[in-house]
Structure 1
Amino acid sequence: MMDFLEDAELDTLAIRAGIQRGPEGEHSEPIFTTSSYVFKSAAEAAARFAGNSPGNVYSRYTNPTVRLFQDRIAALEGAESAVATSSGMAAILSTCMAHLQSGDHVICSRSVFGTTTVWFTRYMEKFGVKVSLVPLTDLDAWRSAVTPKTKLMFLETPSNPLCEVADLGALSALAKQANSLLVVDNCFCTPALQRPLELGADLVVHSATKYLDGQGRCLGGAVVGSTELVDPVLAFIRTCGPTMSPFNAWVFAKGLETLRLRMEAHSSNALKLAEYLAARPEVEKVFYAGLPDHPGHELAKKQQRAFGGVMSFRVKGDKAAAWRFIDAVRIMSLTANLGDAKTTIVHPATTTHGRLAPEEKQAAGITDNLIRVSVGLESPIDLIKDLDRGLAAL
């Protein structure tokens, strides 16, 4: 990072970090749409391929636009290094393939994105990695699950979709005792609201598809942490190719410029909607850490700058009632994505967590009457009117 940015605030880093202007003196960051690079000599080519000389080699793993995004997200997370991937799941895949081998053991929270659970329980185990699923907030369960072969602990906080909050300091201490890596999916908060590395995490993963973009335009992911831990992930990506495209990297880098402003607005809107739903008799329970009666409220206040834009709630009734609510709204988009400027609504039990077995859903609290809302940037007055349409359909 440039010396004059070392003590810069997050808003400045989000706009200025990673910029390397070319000979044209361009002000807006360019997109380098090239697959390969020309070397001045055979010796230079050999040195770059060997990693003995700085410069680009091949856009599967070195590209100036992708590097801009990597440098910027690393700066925002307070990290030494970052590597960009083709999706959020590719970030998780690459982290596991770089740091695990057959015979290792993983402890994963039950309260994660459904596809993350599928990855660990159906694919990692296929390659000889044992996986234990534990309740996110039960520290004793995490401790009891540790074995001499535990090499990685994985979690989201707040969790998807019940917004549970993990004690990152306590889990970090446990991971260090177990000689294990603590990997945190920071998708819901982003570094604008939470920096897990400062709380003891070893690596942070992102689905850049969500809030880092902010407008639902592109797929992408990132792995962020120390150079020592990120370099093996880069080595895997160099070989296997789950790479972020230059165009997507440019979109994400520009999205980061407004990240804090958007996250504050998302959080403000989500709190208003959560408070409204919590007071409605048609609603069984609201899950949002911004509510004072949420079990993780005080912990979230310590770990996060705000409570984020995702909330969920259970309507009184069954799946049919939840579907009636979802089908009745008009402003909210029925789509599984989150982190968009547009508010989205989804039924987790049949979409984002639909591939889980019934017992897995039950253990994770994914009931048929649960609805998840990623609150966007529309007027909260209009969003509450939309909630009224859903409530009237119950």
Structure 2
Amino acid sequence: MTKESRTAVGFEEGRTGGAKWFNDLTRSRFAGPVTPHHRVLSRSVSPETLAVHAGTYEDPVTGAVGTPVFQTSTFLLDDASYAAFSDGTSRDVPIYTRYGNPSQWSVQEKIAALEGSRSALVTSSGMSAIASTIYALTNAGSHIISAYDAYGGTYNLLREDMPSAGREVTFVDPTDLDAIEAAVRPETQLLFFETLTNPLLKAPSIRRIARIAKEANALLVVDNTFLSPVNMRPLDLGADVVVHSATKYLGGHSDLTAGAVVGRRKFLDRIWAQALRFGGTLEPLTAFLLERGLKTLPLRMRAQNDNARAIARHLAGHPRIAAVHHPEIGGARYADLERADYAGYGGMVSFEVRGGDEAALDFMKKLSIPYVATSLGGVESLVSMPSNTSHSSLTARQRAQIGINPGLVRFSAGIENAQDLIRDLDNALGTPDEDAPAEKTPDEKTPAEDASDEKGMS
């Protein structure tokens, strides 16, 4: 890259923008970061077109139609680099890959475009994105509100790490708006919720929670991993920042680990600085794989939406299934669902196998198409039990409070043929066994489970 093109990246705008820090959040800065060689499209373009073209680095030397891998740890220093150091705009100039790399900037621009935002950040994992965001947007003495059935890694961060960092956390049912509003305090700085919860697919009203956050003068951070920007754009509903485990739907092929944060530049700069201190840099080859995976995101999500919907409908009438958790099935849990805010519900469906955990384990062993594995969002279907994977650290009483009953299975639908998946599910479930022992109810506990309940729930 020439000195002239580097100067055009945007650091000059940062120098003259009347920078003020987080108390005012009025700092003027170029969108991105991007270079003049990154393709920037209007956010009004369709998701399919944005997924293919937004952020592509159009190499001026080779004319390559795909973004090259900038597999380098450092870049030549020049006047633009020195000015960026002195003016605090080093996020906008290629200096050192931990600070920023054109490979990262390509995928960041694509994700920002898909979420309808001006800036994004990619990190080494979903948890690095979440941790960097929460630490960056709160300080000691502050208060955070979140869901007690958030993703296990998020819950553990909030419950175990935040108190020692001087932040208090209140956990609520994410669908209980009265409880969320009642939890607000004068020192509340952040509300953190998911578009669909893991594993029961509760659907909080992001639009209404955003109003509560605004009235409280607090920020709303939304984890959009389960839906992706194809199915929902939380920023359009009032959220301030969106996070993703890009390992899941954004990457889509179970071959990378990454995280993403999206929002206004004034928030992203602060989160970027926190990510630098945590060391959560996404290396260039993974950025390349993530950008490549994103090109097919709308196509994959369409197939996964359809497959999960078909599976949920089929299992809702199956005699071996006690309950199905999916917005398509409806029920009291989704009575107030603002369906206009969703373009689809993602590829996840959870269901309870009659007979409890032992029956569910036996069912999973009999499946021939899905892989029995953790994670989700890949082109291949995956199946697991939250009780012995993502939520294994919770006690029996905690799982029951959330609604994780014995026999709960989480199914991540891939892009296979829906009828093949349904046929495989039917074969693995078999026919009801009238002589099977009655399943244990959530209130019945073994002595060991009862003793472990002393740890309680925040």
Letter in 1 for 2:134: C
Stretch moving more, 203-212 or 101-110: 101-110
Relative to structure 1, is the Cα distance of residues 366 and 3 closer, same or farther in structure 2, using a 3 angstrom cutoff? Answer: closer
> Contact 1:291–1:297 at 8 Å: present in 2 too?
no
Unaligned runs of 5+ in 2: 1-31, 33-38, 433-458
One-letter amino acid of the structure 2 residue matched with residue 129 of structure 1: R
1:366 aligns with 2:411: no
CA deviations 1:174-206 (Å, max 9, x no partner) are: 001111111111011101110000000010000
Aligned-CA RMSD value: 1.7
Where do 1:131-142 residues align within 5 Å? 131-142=169-180
SS in 2 for 1:354: coil
| In 1: Cα distance, 2:201 partner to 2:89 partner | 46
- Contact 2:148–2:172, Cα closer than 8 Å, also in 1: yes
Partner of 2:28: none
TM-score (norm 2): 0.82
* Alpha carbons of structure 1 residues 264 and 99: separation in structure 2 relative to 1, 3 Å: same
Q: 1:313-369 deviations in whole A, cap 9, x for unaligned?
A: 011122111111112212110111100111000000110111123333222212221
Provide the residue aligned with 1:15 in structure 2. Answer: 52
Out of 174, 191, 196, the position equivalent to 2:229 is 191
Aligned partner of 1:113 among 146, 151, 157: 151
- Aligned-pair CA distance for 1:252: 1.0
What is the distance in 1 between the residues matched to 2:100 and 2:121?
10
Residue type matched to 1:184 in 2?
Answer: V
Q: Which moved more, 1:112-121 or 1:137-146?
A: 112-121
**Inter-CA distance 6–312: structure 2 relative to 1 (3 Å threshold):** closer
User: Which residue number corresponds to residue 157 of structure 1?
Assistant: 195
Matched AA of 1:210: K
Correspondent of 1:317 among 355, 361, 364: 355
- The C-alpha deviation readout for 1:249-274, integer Å capped at 9, x for no partner, is 11111111111111010010111111
| Distance in 2 separating the partners of 1:165 and 1:392 | 31
Deviations 1:153-177 (A, max 9, x none): 1111211111111111110000011
User: Which of 372, 378, 392 does residue 334 from structure 1 map onto?
Assistant: 372
- 2:250 corresponding residue in structure 1: 212
Name the residue aligned to 1:128: 166
SS of corresponding position for 1:248: helix
2:148, 2:402 within 8 Å by CA — same for their partners in 1?
A: yes
Q: SS of the counterpart of 1:89?
A: helix
Q: Does 1:49 pair with 2:106?
A: no
Q: Does 1:62 align with 2:108?
A: no
Alignment length (residue pairs): 392
The Cα shift of 1:4 comes to 5.6
For residues 390 and 294 of structure 1, do their structure 2 counterparts lie closer, same or farther at Cα, with a shift above 3 Å needed?
A: farther
Instruction: Assess, with a 3 A threshold, how the Cα gap between structure 1 residues 163 and 3 changes in structure 2: closer, same or farther.
Output: closer
Query: How has the CA–CA distance of structure 1 residues 13 and 336 changed in structure 2, closer, same or farther, with 3 Å as cutoff?
Result: same
Higher mean displacement: 297-306 or 88-97: 297-306
Which residue identity does 2:161 align to in structure 1? Y
Identity rate, percent = 38
Q: 2:269 aligns with which of 231, 250, 253?
A: 231
The residue that corresponds to 1:270 in the other structure is 308
Alignment-mate amino acid for residue 302 of structure 2: E
1:100 to 138, 151, 170: 138
Counterpart Cα distance in 1 of 2:372 and 2:270: 38
Give the 3-state SS of the residue equivalent to 2:98 in structure 1: coil
Verify the 8 A CA contact 2:132 2:278 in the aligned structure 1.
no
* Post-superposition offset of 1:6: 4.8
Identify the residue that residue 81 of structure 1 maps to in structure 2. Answer: 119
Determine the C-alpha separation between the residues in 2 that align with 1:210 and 1:337. 7
8 Å CA contact 1:267, 1:307 repeated in 2:
yes
**CA contact 2:80–2:93 (8 Å) conserved in 1:** no
Q: Contact (CA 8 Å) 1:288, 1:294: kept in 2 or not?
A: no
CA distance in 2, matches of 1:39, 1:208: 32
Report SS of the residue matched to 2:97.
coil
Unaligned runs of 5+ in 1: none
Indicate the residue corresponding to 1:289 in structure 2: 327
Question: Larger Cα Rg: Structure 1 or Structure 2?
Answer: 2
Structure 1 range deviating more: 123-132 or 200-209:
123-132
Q: Using the TM superposition, give the Cα deviation of residue 280 of structure 1 relative to its aligned residue in structure 2, in angstroms.
A: 0.6
Q: Which residue identity is paired with 1:47?
A: A
Q: Displacement of 1:48 after TM fit?
A: 2.9
Tell me how far apart the structure 1 counterparts of residues 261 and 121 of structure 2 sit (CA, whole Å).
Answer: 5
The corresponding residue for 1:250 is: 288
TM-score by length of 1: 0.95
Partners of 1:215 and 1:18 in 2: how far apart?
Answer: 20
Amino acid paired to 1:342:
E
Identify the structure with bigger relative contact order (alpha carbons < 8 Å, sequence gap 6+): 1
Counterpart CA distance in 1 for 2:156 and 2:335 is 29
